[in-house]
Chain A
Amino acid sequence: MQNPVLDHERVEYLVARQDSSPDNRRLLPAWPRPDKELRQVDLEVTWLRFSTLNHRTRSEQMRIADQQNRPDLFTADPNGEEAQTQQYQILADQEGFEDLKADLKARGQQQPAVVTAEGVLINGNRRTAALRSLFCEEDHQPSRYVSCLILPADANVREIVDLETELQIAREFKEDYTWVNEALLIEEIFEREGKDWNKVASRMHKDVSSVRGQFEKLQQVHQLVALSKGSRHHADFVDNESAFTELTKHVQGKSAEEAASVRAAYFLGTLTGVKYRTLRHLRRPDASQRVRNELQNDPSLRSLLDADDEQQVTDILDDVLGPSDDQQSGDLTSILSYMAQHGQGEEVDLDGMKVATRDLRDSIKQAVDNAAEDAHGEDMDQNAVAAPVRHLDLAANHVRKAADALPKARVLQDWSEEAYVKQLSRFKAMLGRLDA
Chain B
Amino acid sequence: MISFELYRQDRPTVLVERSGETNPGAWAMIQEALARGAISGSTDRTVVHADVFLAELDVLRALRAIYAESLDFGPTLRIHLQSMAADRRARETAVGGGVELQDLDDLDDELRMAGFVRALKPFQRENLVRVLRLPHAADFSVPGAGKTTSALASFAVLRGRGAVDRLMVVAPIAAFEAWKEEAGACFGEALDLVIFRGSDTFVPSGTDVLVSNYHRVASDYDSIRRFVASARTQVVLDEAHRVKRGPEGVHGRAVLDLAYAASRRDVLTGTPAPQGAHDLVALVKFLYPGQDRRILPQSAYHESLGRDPRVLADTQTAIRSYFVRTPKSALRLPPTTFDVVARDMPSIQSAIYDALVGRYRSTLSLSDRSRHNMRRLGRIMMYLLEAATNPMLLNSGSHSGDDPGFSHPPIELSGDETVPDLLAQYGRFETPWKYETVNSIVADAAANGEKVLVWTNFVRNIQALSRYLREYNPAIVHGGVPSQQGPSADTVTRDMEFNRFRQDSSCSVLLANPAACGEGVSLHHWCHHAVYLDRSFNASHFLQSQDRIHRLGLAADTVTTFTLLISRGTIDETVDARLIEKVEALSTLMDDPGLVQVALPSADEGEDGTPVFEDDMTAVLAHFDGYDESTA
| Residues of B contacting A337 in the complex (Cβ-Cβ under 8 angstroms) | 65-68
- With A223-B25, A255-B298 already in contact, the answer to whether A324 and B39 are too (CB < 8 A) is no
Contact of B301 with A253 in the complex, beta carbons under 8 Å: yes
- Cα A318 to Cα B71 with chains together (Å): 13
Partner of A212, one of B36, B39, B47, B60: B36
**Number of contact residues on B: which range applies?**
35 or more
CA distance A215 to B46 in the complex (A): 14
Stretch at the interface among A25-33, A188-196, A350-358: A188-196
A226 to B41, Cβ gap below 8 A?
A: no
Bound-state CA distance A295–B234 (Å) is: 52
* Cβ–Cβ contact B84 & A320, under 8 A: yes
**B99 at the binding interface (Cβ < 8 Å):** no
Greatest chain A CB density within 10 A among B60, B61, B66, B88 is at B66
- By a CB distance below 8 angstroms, the chain B residues around A38 are none
Q: In the complex, what residues of A have CB within 8 A of residue B25's CB?
A: 222-227, 340
The CA of A340 and the CA of B23, in the complex, are separated in Å by 10
Residue A319, interface by CB 8 Å: yes
**A223 close to B65 (CB less than 8 A):** no
Residue of A nearest to B89 (CB): A319
Chain B residues with CB below 8 A from A320, complex form: 57, 81, 84-85, 88
B85 surroundings in chain A (CB, below 8 A): 316, 319-320
**Pick from B27, B31, B65, B294: contact of A334, CB under 8 Å:** B65
* Cross-chain contact of A256 among B29, B32, B293 (Cβ < 8 A): B293
CA–CA, A319 and B78, complex, Å: 11
Cβ of A236 < 8 Å from any Cβ of B?
A: no
Interface residues of B in 184-235 (CB under 8 A from A): none
Closest Cβ–Cβ distance, residue B288 to chain A (whole Å): 11
- A336 beta carbon closer than 8 Å to chain B: yes
With A219-B29, A316-B85, A341-B68 known as contacts, the answer to whether A191 contacts B40 (CB < 8 A) is no
Q: What separation, in Å, do the CA atoms of A151 and B470 have in the docked complex? A: 79
- B330 interfacial by beta-carbon distance below 8 Å: no
In the complex, which residues of chain A have a beta carbon less than 8 angstroms from the beta carbon of B32? 216, 219-220, 223
A197 with B38: CB separation less than 8 A: yes
State the main secondary structure of chain B at its contact with A: helix
Q: Which residues of B contact A322 (CB under 8 A)?
A: 88, 294
Q: Who on chain B is nearest to A318 by CB?
A: B61
Q: CA of A225 to CA of B31 in the docked complex: distance in angstroms?
A: 15
With A191-B42, A321-B57, A333-B65 already in contact, the answer to whether A222 and B88 are too (CB < 8 A) is no
A324 to B59, CA, bound (A): 12
- Please, how many angstroms separate the alpha-carbon atoms of A194 and B39 in the complex? 8
In the complex, the chain B residue whose C-beta lies closest to that of A322 is: B88
User: Which residues in A have their C-beta under 8 angstroms from that of B487?
Assistant: none
B42 touches A260 (CB 8 A): no
Q: A194-B41, A340-B66 are in contact. Are A226 and B28 (CB under 8 A)?
A: yes
A317 contacts B31, CB within 8 Å?
Answer: no
Please tell me if A308 contacts chain B, counting CB pairs below 8 Å.
yes
CA separation between A36 and B23, bound complex, in Å? Answer: 43
Q: Confirm or deny: B21 has a beta carbon within 8 angstroms of a beta carbon on chain A.
A: no
CA of A197 to CA of B49, assembled, Å: 14
Q: A256-B58, A316-B85, A318-B61 are in contact. Are A336 and B66 (CB under 8 A)?
A: yes
Cα distance, A84 to B61, chains bound together (Å): 44
Partner of B28, one of A223, A256, A258, A260: A223
Asked if B468 is at the interface (CB within 8 A of a chain A CB), the reply is no
CB distance from A51 to the nearest CB of B (A): 21
B347 touches A (CB below 8 Å): no
Expressed in whole angstroms, the minimum distance between the Cβ of B40 and any Cβ of chain A is 5
Q: Which interface residue of B61, B73, B84 has the most chain A CB atoms within 10 A?
A: B61
Residue pair B61, A321 in contact (C-beta under 8 Å) = yes
Q: Mark A173-201, 1 if CB is under 8 A from B, else 0.
A: 00000000000000000110011110000
User: CB of A254 within 8 A of chain B?
Assistant: yes
Name the CB-closest residue of B to A222: B28
Proximity string of chain B (288-315) to chain A, C-beta cutoff 8 Å, 1 when within and 0 when not: 0000011000100110000000000000
A316 and B78 in contact (CB under 8 A), knowing A223-B32, A253-B302? yes
C-alpha gap A254/B293 in the complex (Å): 11
Residues of B within 8 A of A317 (CB): 57, 60-61, 64, 71, 81
Cβ-closest chain B residue relative to A194? B40
CA distance A311 to B65 in the complex (A): 9
**Min C-beta distance of A396 to chain B, whole Å:** 14
With beta carbons under 8 angstroms apart, the residue of B65, B82, B84 that contacts A308 is B65
**Min CB–CB distance A46 → chain B (angstroms):** 36
Which of A215, A256, A333, A336 has the most chain B CB within a 10 Å cutoff?
Answer: A256
- Which A residues from 325 to 378 make CB contacts under 8 A with B? 333-334, 336-337, 340-341
Can you report 8 A-B residue pairs in the complex whose CB atoms are below 8 A from each other?
A225-B25, A260-B58, A260-B62, A317-B61, A319-B81, A333-B62, A336-B66, A340-B68
| Extra inter-chain contacts (19) besides given A195-B40, A318-B61, CB under 8 Å | A191-B42, A191-B43, A216-B32, A216-B35, A219-B28, A219-B31, A220-B28, A222-B27, A225-B24, A253-B301, A308-B65, A316-B73, A316-B78, A316-B81, A317-B57, A321-B294, A334-B65, A337-B67, A340-B67
Chain A interface (Cβ < 8 Å from any Cβ of B): 190-191, 194-197, 212, 215-216, 218-220, 222-227, 253-256, 258, 260, 308, 311, 316-322, 324, 333-334, 336-337, 340-341
